[in-house]
Structure 1
């Protein structure tokens, strides 16, 4: 039997950025409206070191139609929330998530004949 020193305990630190429950509620509300309208079918959530992304898909095997991003490093500058289109263009950026999501709400409103 060998005498080894114990391995020091390293506390678990999760440095990933993620959406909070209060942030997910308005995102899922908008998502639910588009699903009910038949526009969207799937979503994916990514929690990375510097950004959290909620991706929306028209079909499962496609590229995301929209990405809702949270970048905390930008909260004192342009705002930590952004809606990014399929082509990578930032559609709206700001400090208030509901205000940023309003750009998607406008796309849901259609003229009915």
Structure 2
């Protein structure tokens, strides 16, 4: 009853990549504004060993319109953030989350103006 078993660790790298609170707040804020504009209706979050992915859907039963991926292994190369479109094209990649979300922000401005 008094035996404590530590979680297995792989050394330096965590076993699961996740979003920090400020990152998730920024992503969910954008998601909420897109829902209010009537464009998105559902989302999914996948936390894996290599990446954390936030996927936004126009409808529940189709492919995500955008995926926001965080891949810390690419931090020193192309940047750990990527915005990926519905058919797998990389729309934007970078080291900071804000500029990577900029194409969706611009689209939101167009949705509100119409």
Report the TM-score range of the alignment, normalised by the length of the smaller protein. 0.7 to 0.9
Who is 1:62 aligned against?
Answer: 62
Q: Which residue of 1 aligns with 2:91?
A: 91
Moved over 3 A (4+): none
Shift of 1:22: 1.2
Residue 29 of structure 1 and its aligned partner are, at CA, apart by 1.1
Please list every run of 5 or more consecutive structure 1 residues that lacks an aligned counterpart in the other structure.
1-7
Q: Equivalences for 1:1-113 in 2 at 5 Å?
A: 9-13=5-9, 15-110=15-110, 112=113
Question: More helix by proportion, 1 or 2?
Answer: 2
Superimposed CA distance per residue, residues 65-89 of structure 1 (whole angstroms, 9 cap, x where no aligned partner): 1000000000001100010000100
Q: Matched residues in 1 for 2:110 and 2:53: separation?
A: 27
- 5+ residue gaps, structure 2, are none
Length-normalised TM-score, structure 2:
0.86
Q: Distance in 2 between matches of 1:10 and 1:32?
A: 38
